[in-house]
């Protein structure tokens, strides 16, 4: 099997633990277990049985997850190892050679990689900065063919932090209904909208939506490796069959914690903390952009990152390596999204790291590029 390098993840895997200031993450700085569990729960955790459990996720946890959506039950849910596995199972179960997949780009870039390796034809619809990183519906309409099976979107968007206005969510749903195609939405940043209004899930707007979500990003618990898919029961069953061939099940420890943190009041508290943290850092990076004439951005509306356009005579991958080698600061180059001239900065990093990293970057650019 041929599969493209997943450059976005490769750069992070290679370097994120080697730099002093890692600004490449897209989620909120993670919790510690003892910040989430009280004494009683910590004791209970020590006595749980480390069995396989339900390989599609315990009924209790699937019910908890289903309750986050309207009119969905445990049969609409499978629990996965991170949302990365959710995306993988979704592609492997619902797409096949000869299908066409409309991919709204940029995005996390995982889905297209797997789809291409299966022989699926990937049709890209670009989001452009001048459109506020929102889709062009005329282009979308032209991208449909008799073989189009699905459209996939990352919403809120990685890396730009853009979110669709409600009318555009509806327009996208109408488009999918008209052509009877799936909408796959990766919603891992949902719940971290800076205006405080949580966006509707595509699952609540369209029966034939399939949703990826999890605890890694807005919920700030990537180490639990806890994600899920929500979709039609038959499709979810297919992904379960595929899971038999992959990780079999999720960790009993992670499921225990997930049951606690997805309780509605708890979830609300976690998301409130995430938003406060992110908004504070967004203010810091906005000030920084204002003070650096070579940098600009469309401020993100949600999520853990800012996508910065830079006006410097250097390729983004080279620039990222310069920052890493000279400053011990890791950012993600726009190249990993096919968008040279930009770089991504995680605003979920601890504030002092963000400030220090940005300061090093300004200082370096001033001296090296004279701006
Ligand atoms: C949009 C999106 N989906 C999925 C993932 C995978 O995350 P995880 O497997 O930790 O849930 C990421 C990671 O950056 C992401 O940005």
Residues 88 and 218 placed together within one structural domain of the fold: yes
In a mutational test of the pocket of ligand 1, which residue from 8, 23, 83, 247 has the highest number of ligand atoms less than 8 Å from its CB?
83
* Confidence band of 224 (pLDDT split at 50, 70, 90): very high
CA-to-CA distance for 240 and 242, rounded, in angstroms? 5
Residues 273 and 191 placed together within one structural domain of the fold: no
CA-to-CA distance for 28 and 342, rounded, in angstroms? 21
Strand order in the sheet with 295-296: 295-296, 305-310, 342-346, 332-333
Query: Which CATH number belongs to the domain containing residue 347 in this structure?
Result: 3.90.1150.10
* Confidence band of 140 (pLDDT split at 50, 70, 90): very high
CA-to-CA distance for 244 and 169, rounded, in angstroms? 34
* Res 228: pLDDT: 99
DSSP per position, 315-357 = -HHHHHHHIIIII-EE-EEGGGGT-TTEEEEESSS-HHHHHHH
- Would 95 be classed as within a structural domain? yes
- Would 371 be classed as within a structural domain? no
The pTM for the full model equals 0.98
Residues 246 and 275 placed together within one structural domain of the fold: no
Q: Is 214 touching ligand 1 by the criterion CB < 6 Å?
A: yes
Residues 16 and 55 placed together within one structural domain of the fold: no
Total number of domains constituting the chain: 2
Residues 191 and 298 placed together within one structural domain of the fold: no
CA-to-CA distance for 113 and 127, rounded, in angstroms? 18
Q: Is 26 touching ligand 1 by the criterion CB < 6 Å?
A: yes
* Res 314: pLDDT: 98
Task: Judge contact between 285 and 347, C-beta under 8 A.
Answer: yes
- Would 369 be classed as within a structural domain? no
Structure tokens given for 211: 């949703």
Query: Which CATH number belongs to the domain containing residue 231 in this structure?
Result: 3.40.640.10
Residues 295 and 177 placed together within one structural domain of the fold: no
Per residue in 48-102, pLDDT tens? Answer: 999 999 999 999 999 999 999 999 999 999 999 999 999 999 999 999 999 999 9
Average pLDDT (255-271) is: 98
Residues 124 and 15 placed together within one structural domain of the fold: no
Kindly give the pairing relationship between strand 77-81 and strand 305-310.
unpaired
- Would 2 be classed as within a structural domain? no
Angle at which helix 252-261 crosses helix 59-66, to 10 degrees, equals: 40
Work out the number of other CB atoms within 10 angstroms of the CB of residue 112. 20
Find the 291 Cα to ligand 1 centroid distance in Å: 31
Strand order in the sheet with 148-154: 77-81, 226-230, 209-214, 182-186, 148-154, 100-105, 121-126
Per residue in 288-301, pLDDT tens? Answer: 999 999 999 999 99
Structure tokens given for 278: 């992110």
Q: Is 83 touching ligand 1 by the criterion CB < 6 Å?
A: yes
Q: Which domain holds residue 105?
A: 50-263
* Res 162: pLDDT: 98
Residues 345 and 229 placed together within one structural domain of the fold: no
Per residue in 189-222, pLDDT tens? Answer: 999 999 999 999 999 999 999 999 999 999 999 9
Residues 193 and 230 placed together within one structural domain of the fold: yes
Residues 286 and 173 placed together within one structural domain of the fold: no
- Would 196 be classed as within a structural domain? yes
Tokens 């003892």 correspond to 34
- Would 334 be classed as within a structural domain? yes
Mean pLDDT of the chain: 97
* Res 34: pLDDT: 97
Structure tokens given for 283: 């203010």
Residues 54 and 20 placed together within one structural domain of the fold: no
């Amino acid at each position: 099997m041929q599969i493209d390098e997943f450059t976005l993840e490769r750069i992070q895997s290679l370097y994120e633990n080697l730099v002093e200031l890692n600004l490449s993450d897209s989620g909120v700085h993670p919790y510690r277990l003892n910040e989430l569990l009280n004494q009683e729960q910590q004791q209970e955790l020590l006595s749980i049985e480390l069995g396989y459990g339900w390989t599609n996720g315990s009924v209790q946890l699937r019910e908890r997850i289903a309750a986050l959506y309207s009119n969905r039950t445990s049969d609409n849910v499978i629990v996965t190892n991170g949302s990365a596995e959710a995306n993988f199972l979704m592609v492997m179960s619902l797409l096949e050679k000869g299908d066409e997949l409309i991919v709204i780009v940029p995005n996390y870039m995982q889905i297209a990689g797997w789809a291409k390796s299966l022989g699926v034809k990937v049709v890209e619809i670009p989001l452009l900065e001048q459109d506020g990183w929102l889709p062009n519906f005329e282009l979308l309409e032209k991208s449909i063919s008799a073989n189009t099976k699905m459209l996939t979107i990352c919403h809120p968007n990685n890396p730009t932090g853009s979110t669709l206005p409600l009318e555009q969510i509806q327009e996208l749903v109408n488009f999918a209904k008209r052509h009877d195609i799936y909408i796959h939405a990766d919603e891992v940043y949902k719940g971290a909208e800076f205006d405080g209004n949580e966006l509707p899930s595509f699952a609540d707007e369209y029966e034939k939506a399939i949703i990826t979500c999890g605890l890694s990003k807005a919920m700030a618990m990537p180490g639990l490796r806890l994600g899920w898919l929500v979709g039609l029961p038959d499709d979810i069953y297919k992904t379960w069959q595929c899971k038999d061939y992959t990780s079999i099940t999720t960790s009993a420890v992670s499921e225990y914690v997930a049951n606690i943190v997805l309780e509605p009041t708890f979830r609300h508290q976690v998301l409130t903390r995430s938003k406060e943290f992110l908004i504070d850092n967004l203010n810091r990076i906005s000030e920084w952009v204002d003070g650096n004439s070579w940098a600009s951005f469309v401020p993100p509306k949600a999520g853990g990152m800012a996508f910065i356009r830079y006006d410097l005579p250097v390729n983004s991958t080279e620039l990222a390596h310069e920052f890493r080698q000279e400053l011990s600061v890791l950012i993600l180059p726009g190249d990993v999204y096919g968008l040279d001239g930009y770089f991504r900065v995680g605003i979920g990093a601890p504030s002092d790291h963000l400030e220090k990293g940005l300061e090093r970057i300004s200082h370096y650019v001033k001296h090296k590029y004279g701006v």
